[in-house]
């Protein structure tokens, strides 16, 4: 354990496992020395996970980018069907993405599905989308529909949130991605995404999902107009829900990309700001087990560096990511498992292939051979709350 | 100064073999970074610099602003220009080269020498340190080095090599973070690991990053200052005759 000059009070709280306050989080964001902050965050990361660094084999499907919401940071959405660049996949097209992976004998364990808020699709479009994917590969884990989408379904189809989730689950939904949280502060949401669900509504969707036994992830969009106080407030609200339900698996800070959207005059976060945000998140969110450096958005080089600033997960192989690439991301749209393993090993970490629920599928020698997946660690199921 | 793509000794190998990538770092990242940052602070102050530069091309034309404070030429362009003497007569004061032998031929003839110090993924840290120690002991008076990855760099490899450069090279030798080669995010991180100057074309106004301009590495003065300040350093612009002006 190295010495740090982060204020002794905060350092002691972290080492004693005491939750940090809003003031502590702000002080960490304002702490001048990134390396000292990183050292403390790395202590927590290694206490939780040692050298283990997780990844999975996944595929992204963005079935439609037609979206009623007009978030100012978004480069992906098109407001109406028929507008240049707007698309909606047929079921056959979406299913074909998975079929292509099966035909290529390129196994995946997860499909991540996030879409625009399409005003003209029936609810059955989504249930059949899931059901068809499950028919093709019954073992596939479907992590689908952000809380924003689920809340939209609740309003549009006039169904209780729990009913929306239950019906999607019956069709094949296994967990919920963390997108759409942006920044919970009303001041920020009013300026950058005032026509989608509020922060409280986002949290309510996840609370409901957790009570129904589903796990989910959570995110924070940083680098637009928010203050560091609003960032810490966002983290604390997530921490409070986690204390209540225990359903969050991973926190994913999402760096704002300024190209091709209404906020393109903003500079976007810098590399040091990225690492600082990861480190603070690791220290503040003491009850969320994992912190993901989403390489698609951070870039491979920054994501790898984040593995020493609190992050323990690199996401997955992805493929065909559209949302960030339409915002100017210059990363590749996919990485092979071998590439991810090499990046993790080059960082001096131990790669672990996981499934969506962080069951370990392969690690150590198994990752360098053709041995079949191991399934030796099982997470306990979330308790269903009536 | 603005880096020239032809001077980087890039190869097509994007990612090293798994066995190479597994070579473990030998010193804790944070300890190494703090030693390098302290060495930078002791030698050059807690300052991060940038400069408006222009490049003399092999054709004899200049690329960059007329009022640049640094005028440089890539060593690879010297034969086409008729050698260093001709380039110097045209106004160049800095030579950027990829090997010591070329720079040695020019040394002592009015040129400020900057070396692209190459590294590749999978090298042991001992090998890198040994190479840098040899460089420090050589008879070529280097003004600065530019850590230059062969192929696509790993983030941690780059910041570690930057720190090794700072620790191995003579006090006062500048370590430059190449924005074009590393990208602004990683270049900024290098400032936390002992680098003291951002190497990027500095432009008056940002053009939208669209079309052919999508990957333009140029920074505005304000962006350079933001990156340096965000790294916890005091930004300063390198002016004519090497005067430094702190940006407040």
Q: For residue range A107-140, what is the model confidence (pLDDT) as tens digits?
A: 899 999 999 999 999 999 999 999 999 999 999 9
Residue B28 touches partner A, C-beta closer than 8 Å: yes
For residues B203 and B222, the answer to whether their CB atoms sit within 8 Å is: no
Nearest CA distance, B207 vs chain A (angstrom)? 11
Contact with chain B for residue A346, Cβ under 8 A: yes
Backbone phi, psi, residue B109, to 5°: -120, 40
Q: What value does the mean pLDDT take over residues A173-198?
A: 94
Give the span between the Cα atoms of A196 and A69, in whole angstroms. 6
The reply to whether residue B185 touches residue A38, judged by beta carbons under 8 angstroms, is no
Q: How many CB pairs under 8 A join A and B?
A: 107
Map tokens 């269903």 to a residue.
A384
The answer to whether residue A4 scores a pLDDT higher than 80 is no
pLDDT in tens, A307-345: 999 999 998 887 765 655 565 555 566 788 888 998 999
Task: Return the structure tokens found at A111.
Answer: 């499909």
* Mean pLDDT for the stretch of residues A168-196: 94
Nearest-angstrom CA–CA distance, A320 and A56: 15
Q: Is it the case that residue B127 has pLDDT exceeding 70?
A: yes
Task: Give the separation between CA A303 and CA A295, rounded to whole angstroms.
Answer: 5
| Choice between A365 and B43, residue whose per-residue pLDDT is larger | B43
Query: What is the distance between the alpha carbons of residues B10 and B8, in angstroms, rounded to a whole number?
Result: 6
Quote the pLDDT of residue A296. 85
pLDDT: which is higher, A114 or B205: A114
pLDDT digits (tens, 9 = 90+) for A243-289: 999 999 999 999 988 766 767 777 778 999 999 999 999 999 999 99
CA B22 to chain centre: 27
Residue B190 in this model has a pLDDT that exceeds 90: yes
Could you tell me the pLDDT band of residue A372, with boundaries at 50, 70 and 90?
very low
Start-to-end C-alpha separation, chain A = 44
Q: Which of A170, A190, A255, A246 is nearest to A219 (CA)?
A: A255
Q: For chain B, say whether A262 makes contact (Cβ under 8 Å).
A: no
Q: Tell me the average pLDDT across A201-215.
A: 98
Cross-strand bridge partners of residue B236? B49, B246
pLDDT at B216: 64
CB B57 within 8 A of CB B34: no
Interface check for A338 against chain B (CB to CB < 8 A): the answer is yes
Q: Fill in the DSSP letter of residue B208.
A: P
Residue A104's pLDDT band (cuts 50, 70, 90): confident
Those residues with Cβ within 8 angstroms of residue A205's Cβ, 6 or more apart along the chain or in another chain? A147, A150, A151, A154, A161, A165, A176, A197
From CA B131, how far away is CA A284, in angstroms rounded? 42
Tokens representing A81 are 């069907």
What confidence tier does A73 reach under pLDDT thresholds 50, 70, 90?
confident
pLDDT bucket at B107, cuts 50 / 70 / 90? confident
Alpha-carbon B6 to chain mean position: 14
- Predicted local confidence at residue A257, as pLDDT: 80
């Amino acid at each position: 354990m190295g010495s740090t000059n982060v204020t002794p009070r905060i350092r002691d709280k972290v080492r004693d496992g005491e939750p940090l306050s809003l003031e502590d989080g702000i002080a960490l964001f304002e702490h001048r020395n990134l390396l000292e902050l990183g050292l403390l965050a790395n202590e927590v990361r290694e206490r939780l996970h040692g050298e283990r660094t997780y990844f999975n084999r996944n595929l992204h499907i963005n079935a439609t980018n037609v979206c009623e919401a007009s978030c100012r940071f978004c480069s992906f959405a098109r407001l109406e069907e028929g507008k240049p660049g707007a698309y909606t996949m047929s079921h056959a097209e979406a299913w074909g993405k998975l079929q292509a992976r099966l035909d290529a004998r390129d196994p995946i364990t997860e499909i991540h599905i996030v879409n625009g808020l399409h005003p003209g699709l029936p609810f059955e479009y989504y249930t059949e989308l899931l059901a068809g994917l499950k028919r093709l590969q019954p073992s596939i884990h479907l992590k689908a529909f952000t809380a924003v989408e689920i809340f939209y379904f609740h309003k549009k189809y006039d169904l209780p949130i729990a009913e929306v989730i239950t019906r999607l689950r019956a069709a094949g939904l296994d967990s919920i991605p963390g997108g759409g949280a942006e920044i919970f502060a009303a001041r920020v949401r009013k300026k950058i995404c005032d026509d989608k669900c509020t922060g409280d509504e986002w949290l309510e969707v996840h609370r409901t999902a957790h009570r129904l036994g589903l796990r989910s992830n959570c995110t924070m969009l940083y680098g637009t107009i928010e203050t560091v106080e609003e960032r810490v407030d966002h983290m604390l609200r997530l921490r409070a829900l986690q204390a209540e339900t225990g359903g969050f698996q991973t926190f994913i800070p999402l760096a704002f990309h300024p190209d091709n959207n209404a906020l393109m005059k903003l500079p976007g976060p810098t590399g040091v700001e990225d690492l600082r945000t990861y480190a603070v998140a690791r220290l503040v969110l003491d009850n969320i087990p994992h912190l993901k450096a989403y390489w698609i958005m951070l870039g491979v080089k920054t994501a790898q560096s984040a593995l020493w600033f609190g992050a323990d997960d690199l996401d997955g192989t992805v493929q065909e990511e559209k949302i960030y690439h339409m915002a100017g991301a210059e990363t590749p749209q996919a990485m092979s498992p071998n590439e991810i393993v090499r990046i993790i090993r080059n960082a001096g970490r131990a790669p672990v292939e996981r499934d969506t629920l962080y069951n370990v599928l392969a690690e150590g020698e198994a990752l360098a051979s053709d041995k079949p997946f191991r399934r030796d660690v099982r997470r306990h199921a979330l308790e269903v709350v009536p | 100064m603005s880096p020239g793509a032809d001077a980087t000794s890039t190869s097509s190998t994007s990612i090293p073999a798994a066995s190479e990538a597994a070579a473990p770092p030998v010193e804790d990242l944070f300890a190494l970074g703090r030693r390098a940052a302290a060495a930078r602070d002791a030698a050059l102050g807690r300052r991060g610099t940038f400069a408006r530069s222009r490049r003399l091309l092999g054709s004899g034309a200049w690329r960059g602003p007329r009022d640049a404070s640094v005028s440089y030429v890539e060593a690879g362009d010297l034969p086409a220009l008729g050698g260093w003497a001709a380039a110097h007569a045209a106004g160049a004061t800095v030579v950027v080269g990829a090997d010591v032998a070329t720079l040695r031929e020019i040394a002592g003839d009015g040129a400020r020498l900057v070396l692209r110090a190459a590294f590749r993924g999978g090298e042991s840290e001992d090998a890198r340190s040994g190479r840098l120690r040899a460089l420090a002991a050589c008879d070529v008076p280097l003004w600065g080095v530019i850590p230059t990855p062969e192929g696509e760099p790993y983030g941690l490899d780059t910041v570690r090599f930057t720190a090794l450069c700072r620790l191995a090279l003579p006090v006062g030798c500048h370590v430059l973070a190449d924005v074009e080669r590393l990208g602004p995010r990683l270049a900024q991180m290098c400032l936390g690991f002992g680098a003291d100057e951002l190497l990027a074309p500095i432009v008056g106004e940002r053009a939208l990053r669209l079309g052919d301009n999508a990957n333009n590495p140029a920074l505005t003065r304000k962006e350079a200052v933001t990156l340096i300040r965000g790294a916890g350093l005091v930004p300063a612009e390198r002016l004519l005759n090497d005067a430094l002006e702190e940006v407040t």
